[in-house]
Structure 1
C-alpha cells in the first residue's frame, strides 16, 4: 500500500506566475522593477537629449575652480581663493555642527518637557503644555527669524565694550555677548604631535581618546550588569567611569600643552578666541525648541505606555519617585520613544537647510546657493545636495536603529 504525503507536482505553466501564490509576489516585484528601470531610462535619455541640444554636459570639474566668496563661520581653514569643493566641505561641516548641537539640546528640552507634562504640579504641567502647543504649531522658519531678530536688536554691538563702563565689560573677562555672536576662549595646543603645532592630528587624537573612554565605560557597565545578574549585588562604577572619562583626556591635554586664546577687542570687532555667530545661535536654538516640542510628546506617549503597575511596584519597594522615573519607567518607555525620535533627528538635519534665511553658510547656502549661481551647474549641485542629505539621513537612521535594537524587549 502506497501513502502519498505530498501533492503531485504538475508541469510549470505561464499562468502560474499570476495565479499561483508561490510565484505571484515574485512576478509583481519583477514587473515593478522593470517599470522603474524603464522610467529611469526614459528620464535619463530625456535629460541627456536636452543637455545635448543646449550644448551642455554633466561635469564636476567646477569643484576644482576657485570659489571666489567668503564664508563668515568655518571649522576649517578657508579663503575666497579656496576651491568650490572646499567651500562645499565647509558647508557640510557647518550643517553637521548645527544638526549635532540641535539634536542634543532638542533631546534635553524634549525629555524635560515630556516628563514635566505628567507632573502632579498643575502650574508646571500647564506651562509645559503651552510650550508644546505654541512651539510645534508655528513654522520653524518663523522661530529662526524671530530669534535672530531679537539677538541683533537686543544684544550690544562690539563697539559697546569699549570704555570704562562696567556694564560693557566682558563676562569674567572671557566671554563677550554681542549682536554679531558670542565670543569665547578658543583652545589650542602648544606642543604639536606629528611635527606641526595645533595640527588636526592633535584634535583627532583627542577625539580618539574620548571614543576610547566611551567604549571603556560601556565595558565597565556591562561587567557590572553581569555581576549583578549572577550575584544580585552591583559593584560601584561611578568613580571608575569618571576616572576613565577624565584622567586620560586631562593627561593628554597636559602632554599637548593645552592653552586658551582669549578674545580681545581690536578696533571695531573682537579678535582671537572662538566666535559663535549669531546665525548659528539663532538656527541652533530655533531648531532645538521647535523639535523639542515634538520630542516632548514622544516622551509623554512613551511614559504613558508603561503600565501603571510598574510604578506602583517600584514605589512599594520604597524607591523614590525620581529614581522610579529614571530606573523603571524611562528604560521601558525607550522602546516607544526611539522610533519617532529617529524621525525628529532626521527633521532637524533637513530643517537646517533653512539656515540661508539668516545667512548661515550650510551646505545648501554654499553648494546649493552661491556655487550653483556662480557656476550655473544646477544639475550637478542639486545631485550632490541630494546625495549628501540621503547619505547623512541613512547614517542617522542606521545608528539609531542599532541603538533601538539594543534597548528593545528581548524574548527569552
Structure 2
C-alpha cells in the first residue's frame, strides 16, 4: 500500500518547478504534505524495518528533490522576502524559523524540530537535512550568501548585553569560557574541565560571546585562546586545549546543525579571522573590527581544536602536545578544516591527517605547518605572553587582514560553507556515523 502511495506522489510531482512563485510554493507544500502522510504510516525511525527505511528514504528524497528545484529557481526571492529586501539581518536560527513560517514544507517548523531534537541521533527522522538543503542554496548564491555571511559577523545580543560589565570589571565567567583582560590582551580560557573542552552548542555560544566582547572592547588589542586545567580523571590538574566535538552529545542528538556546526564556522571562527561587524568610526574603510589572535596548545588539539589552530596568527604548543583531525574516523566533515589545512600543509599531509587519522606531535618536523613555536610545557605561558606583546601593533592588524584576504578570500569561504551545509547534514544521518558516535564517545570517556 505504501509503495502505491509513493507511486501516486511521483506521478503528482512536476518534473520542473513552475516559474510562477505562488504555484511553485504550492508545489512544495503539496509534496511535503503527501510525503508526511507516507511517513505517518510507518513506525518511528528506530523501529523501522529495512523495507520501512527504504520507503521513508524514497519519500524524503522525492520531497528533497522538489525543495532543491524550488530553491534553485526561487532561492534569492525567498531570501529577499525573509529579510524584507535585505533590510533585516536574521541569524541562522531566526532565518530558518522564518522560512518555516513563510514557506511551509520548505524546512521543518519549530514544533517538529523541538520534537526531533529531544531524540538520540539514531532515533531522528533527519529533518536537519532539509535545513542543510536550505542553507546550501542560501549560501551558494553570491547575493543572499554574502548577506548571510556578513550577518553572522554581527555581534550577538548576549555579547552586547555583557560588554559594559566586561569593560568595567575586566572579567567574565560565561560558563564554559572565562574571559579576562590583562593589560591590552584578552585571555579566553576554555574551561569545560569535565570533558576536556569538548565542544557542544553551549560552548559555541560562550566562545562567540567571548570573541565578540574581546573584539568590541577598545582597550583590548590582541587576544589569546588557551585551555584551562582539567578535572577529568585521565588529565586531572593538566591544561588541555580541546578534544573537539563532544561525541557523547552527538550520540545523544544534542549537536545541532544550525546552532553548532554552521554557527561555529560562520560565527566565532570566522570572526577570529575577519572580525566583528559593527558601527564604528572607521567603518568607512574597515567594516569590521579585527585583532590579532594567539593560541597556546597544551596536551592536545583534536578535531575542532585542530581546526581552530588554522585561523590564529601565532600558534604555540607545549613540547608534549599533539594535533589530530580524525574526521574520517568520526564520520563527519571537519568544519572548514578541509578548506584551510591543504593551503597550510599541502595536499598529501592534509589527506594523511583528515582521511588517515594521522596524529602530529609538536616535536615532529611536519608540525611546522600547524605550529609556529614549540616550548617546554612550563614555559608555554611565558611564550604566549611574548607573542601577545609582539603582535600588539596596528601594523600587525593591517597586515594580518591582507594575509587573510589573500589566503582565504570571503567568496571562497562562502562557496565552501554552502557545500559544507549540505554535506555535513547528510553525514550527520549516515549509517556509519550512527554506529561510530557511540563507540567514540565510550572510548573518550
Q: Which band: TM-score by shorter chain?
A: under 0.3
Q: Judging by fraction of residues, say which structure has more helix.
A: 1
Q: TM-score, normalised by structure 2?
A: 0.21
Larger RCO: Structure 1 or Structure 2 (Cα < 8 Å, ≥ 6 residues apart)? 1
Q: Judging by fraction of residues, say which structure has more strand.
A: 2
Larger radius of gyration: 1
